[in-house]
Structure formats: structure tokens, C-alpha cells
Amino acid sequence: MCGLLAMLTTDGNGAEFVNAVESGLPCMRHRGPDAAGTWHDDKAVFGFNRLSIIDLAHSHQPLRWGPEENPERYAMTFNGEIYNYIELRAQLQSLGGYEFRTSGDSETIVVGFHHWGEKVVEHLRGMFAFVIWDTETDTMFAARDQFGIKPLYYATTDAGTVFASEKKSILEMAEPLGLDLTLDRRAVQHYVDLQYTPEPESLHAGIRRVESGCTVTLKPGGTVVSERYFKPTFEVRSVPKGSEQALFDRIAEVLDDSVAKHMRADVTVGSFLSGGIDSTAIAALAKKYNPDLLTFTTGFEREGYSEIDVAAESAEAIGAEHIVKVVSPEEYATAIPKIMWYLDDPVADPSLVPLYFVAETARKHVKVVLSGEGADELFGGYTIYKEPLSLAPFEKIPDPMLRGLRTLGQMLPDGMKGKSLLDRGTQPMEDRYYGNARNFTYEQLERVLPWAKPEWDHREVTAPIYQVSKELGMDPVARMQHLDLFTWMRGDILVKADKINMANSLELRVPFLDKEVFEVAQTIPHELKIANGTTKYALRKALEQIVPPHVLHRRKLGFPVPMRHWLAGEELFGWAQDTITESQTEDIFNKKEVLEMLKEHRDGVSDHSRRLWTVLCFMVWHGIFVEKRITPDIEERDYPVKL
């Protein structure tokens, strides 16, 4: 887990950009405080910050490797972990007799690239973003893991193309690159609409992201050519009656194997633990491979917004030592600027802040933690996935009557019983569902974003994804899961998982998001996802002998935040009012309307908490990266190499 920076120059003047690359490394030292290094030739420049996890004394980067006839043919920078690296090393030695010069996982990528070419990504089981420079063919090759666990930004100017783990590193190089720092208005609207900036966009017009599950190739002076290698689908199949248990057993088996491989490290591995089934399952399995497992959780003092007691009970049940961090409203408000800085682009998820503090706490004890992200998307865990069942009767209504019901629903006042059912039941899925980001109606969006364009609404992002699932004939639940894999999961869940933990130089591993686990999860029929009035039914059945009974059927909460109460009360109302007033975003937001929404929220007229939080996060981000008015307090921390 590290921070990479790589540049391919247009004019073969690599030496002239060494200082620029070196200037982009310090701002992401948190990603790799253990070591730093650079390398260059006349065309490429590589920089690296290392967080040492495997093969601590060796595996330094930028890494050079090549066959016997050209032992330094390739240069590589790599961020992530390859969990099947031991098996890959043995396979490559058997296939080609290749010599390995380290005992780490990084080298398996470049050796695999030499042997398999671009198809190396199909052999990797892990989380990764890497860049390889082939000095013989003058080709740069880069890739991201299947699900997008590890980030990879890039920017192309007349000077060349730069890849980086964090956008702020590219921003540090803006002047020598001649980078366009204009805000992308379309991306801004997408952010306000969705609460995150969807891939491949960033809020800066000149910087984009390599998409999850994609590779890119590039020649000096050429354009970035992207190709998708991972095309996830949820298969249409059924399980013969009486054979369900075999499926449940297979889920348990592959998940246990994933956790075992995710425990591979030369440092201590702990686990996050909330009150839900996902993190509890991961922690319970991890305990098998680390008898001294430490677990970590966070919460708030406000009743109903903490899973501390349930998590503590789970830790006791599995025999793990448990460590708790309680976050105060004062800590929450103080941390917001630094969190927006670490994120690169804002993500309006209130759980980012407690995650930051539990990661900070965990890093005092361990260097790696496991977590339960991805289980909902793969196994059908969101309550909204049950909606196709509740709306099924609408499918039998003739179109003319359906249009009439739609009109009736629009005439009913907000909050009236039945209005929401009519609104959603009379719309096609493509219009009503765009993940867990449902926040603004278009009318509400126009209220705060007066220049918003209808053609830039959420459907611009979701329509191509829906088209794929339609062509593949997925059932409604699978179509919702498929959409979430490409939107909410990689735009919110995985961004915060990477950025917030790396802010604390803590490696987060997510065993559910493993390609072997996905190969099993994609075969689960919808009737075994939302059976018996619950979600993740097949997963729950698979975990009956693994997870303590008190969490097996418990409703998911995660790290809930009392944002609605705080924005209406003394905890955050004053902070929010000052943030809006001081923000220099008049050309973006109708600040008068935003302040009116804050007043309506305080007075109990309407719950605007998520909408307000979305705008407030952007305003803080804008104050840091555009106005340069806000300077976050970013601590220079020193961590031991081995924990």
C-alpha cells in the first residue's frame, strides 16, 4: 500500500521533470512514510512513497526488473497488495524459469507482465494500481484492480502524461505540466446530484481517473488508450431445490480462503468491527489466522448512533481484544477540512469522519486492517434491493393507467402516505434508482445550483451501465447490484476506504471484494438474496457457524452519524452557517437558497441534512483547493516501519 507517481514525457526530456515529480511526492507521504525514491531515464520519470507490508527489507520501488538478456528492461511503481503472489511466483518459475530478486508481491506483477503481457491483470488476485514502463518497446502500461479499490489519476498535457495515486500530487506539478485547473461544471453537477464524483471524472477538467477494471497503454506523445478487462455480470441461473446448502457451503469456503490470503503480511493485521454481519464475519475468520487479533470500532455518545456495545459483544464472542474510539461533535467539526484535503475530491458521506478517527486509533496498534466493504453489492445487502418485489404489481398495470397513477402521485403533497409508492412504482427502474445517492430532486438541485442542466442529471452516468445489464438479461435485483458496483461502491465506499485509511498510513484490505468471492456471489439467484424478508440471505446462511447469533440477522448500520440533529443544533449549525457565508462559491451555488435550506432544517420544516452536507463538503473542498483560503492542519507523523 503506497503512493505512486509516474510521468511519460512527450519530448524525451525526462531529466527536466525529475524535480517536478519529486515535488509531487511529499503531499502523499501519508500513503508511504517508510521510504521514498525516484528513478528516470530520458523518457520516463517514476516516484514512490512506500508503506512496507511485505518483504520489508527489500521490494523497494521504483522497481527494476528484466530477463537475463536485459535485466533492467522494465521500471514499475505499484500501489496495493497481490494476495496470490506466492502461488504466482511458483507458477511463473514453472512456466518460464524466471529469477525473482525479492520475496515480495510487487515483483510478481512485472514478471507476469513480461510473460503474459497485458493479460497479467487476469492472474492477479488483490487490490492494485500500477504503472510499468517497457524500455524496449517504449510503451507505458497501467492498470487498476477489478473493483477499483486502489485509485489512479492521470493528466495529459503538451509536456506528457502523469499518473498518480492522489490528485493533489498532480496539482503540485501543475505549473511545469501546463495543467488546466478549470473546474469541470458537469462533474460538479454530478457530485451535487450523487454525493460523489463518478469515474472517470474529477472536479478538475484537466485530471481524470483510470476506471476500475481497466488497463491503459501509452506511447511518448500519444494518447491514453483505455480497455476494460473486467466485465462483471450477475448470471441468470437457479439453484436446484435441495442443493442450496452446497451453495452456502461454497460461499463460506471461498470467503474463508479470501480472508486467509488477505492475512498475508509481515506486519500485524487487525480488523474493523461494527455491529453488522459483514465486518463481524471478516473478524471471526481473521481470528482463525491471528489468535491475538485486535478489533476496532467507533461511535458517538448520542443514543441510536453507536454500535459500540454490539461490536464489543461480537469481539467477546469471537475472542478478540477490542479497542473503541468515541467521536465528539467538536472533533468531528475540526476534522472536516483535513478530511476534504485527503479525499482529493469531496465525498458527502458523513461516516468519513468517524472512519478517520477509528483508523487513526487502529494505526497506533497495527499497520493493516480488514473490513467488510463490498458484501452488500455482491450478496444483495441493501434494503432497497427488496423494492422490485414490492413494486411488482405495477408491472401488470396497462401503460395508460400507469401514466394516470403517475400524474396522481405528482399531485399528492410531499409526505402523504402512498405518494412515494406511486412515484416509484410508476417509473422505470432506470429513472427511479441510481444507487444509495438519492438526495436531490431536480427541482431541489436547481434551487441550489441555478445553472444545472437536465441532460447532466444522474441518468447521464447510469444509462450506459443500465444498458449493459439490460443486454445481459439480468433480473431487477441483479441490475441494481450491477449499477452499484459502478457507481456508489467505487464512487463512495471504496474512495473513503482508501483515502481515509491511507490518511493514517493504515492499509485497509477488503476480503469480500475478491475475484474468487465474486465468481461465487455472481451465481446466487435473486430468490436467495432477499428471501424470508431479509437481505443477503445466502450469505447469512453461509455464516451461521461463523458469526455470533446476535448479529446474524441484525439490521446494517455501519458507522451512523447524527448529522440531522447536529446541523439543526448547536453542534454544527453555527459551523454550517459560517461555512456557507464565507465560501467564495457564488458562481456555483445560490448561497441565499442554501442558507434558507439551513434555516428550514433548523426549524424542522424539512430534513435537508444530506443535501446540506453535500453542499458544505464541496464548499470546504473549494476553500482548500480553489480559493486557497483554508489550510488544513496536516500533521507530519512518524510511524515505525514494522508493527
- What is the set of active-site residues? 2
Positive or negative CA dihedral for 509, 233, 281, 373?
positive
Look up residue 84 and give its amino acid. N
Helix (H) or strand (E) holding 323: strand 321-326
**Cα–Cα nearest to 349, from 568, 196, 458:** 196
Pairing of the two strands 2-9 and 160-164: antiparallel
| CA–CA gap between residue 494 and residue 152 (Å, rounded) | 13
CB 39 within 8 A of CB 1: no
**Cα–Cα nearest to 48, from 92, 7, 102:** 7
| CA–CA gap between residue 539 and residue 503 (Å, rounded) | 32
- Contacts of 98 by beta carbon, 8 Å cutoff, 6+ apart: 67, 92, 111, 114, 115
| CA–CA gap between residue 145 and residue 79 (Å, rounded) | 10
Residues pairing with 127 in the sheet: 81
What count of residues does the chain have? 643
Q: Is 59 helix (H, G, I), strand (E, B) or coil?
A: coil
**Cα–Cα nearest to 231, from 510, 464, 530, 388:** 464
Q: Which phi and psi (to 5°) does residue 368 adopt?
A: -135, 140
CB atoms within 10 A of CB 635: 8
Q: Which three cell numbers stand for residue 201?
A: 471524472
CB 242 within 8 A of CB 529: no
131 DSSP assignment: E
Encode 520-540: b = buried (16+ Cβ within 10 Å), e = exposed.
bbbbbbbebbbbeebbbbbbb
Please report the DSSP string for 147-210 in residue order: S--S--EEEEETTEEEEESSHHHHHHTHHHHT----B-HHHHHHHHHHSSPPTT--SBTT-EEP
CB 480 within 8 A of CB 529: no
CB 585 within 8 A of CB 625: no
Rounded to 10 degrees, what is the CA torsion of 545, 548, 553, 555?
-140
Please report the DSSP string for 406-446 in residue order: HHHHHHSPTT-TTHHHHHHHTS-HHHH-BTBT----HHHHH
Helices 458-471 and 185-194, packing angle to 10 deg: 70
Is residue 626 packed enough to be buried (19+ CB in 10 Å), middle (13-18) or exposed (0-12)?
Answer: middle
Pairing of the two strands 2-9 and 139-144: unpaired
**Cα–Cα nearest to 76, from 123, 29, 30, 129:** 129
- Contacts of 80 by beta carbon, 8 Å cutoff, 6+ apart: 1, 126, 127, 128, 129, 130, 145, 149, 150
CB 372 within 8 A of CB 281: yes
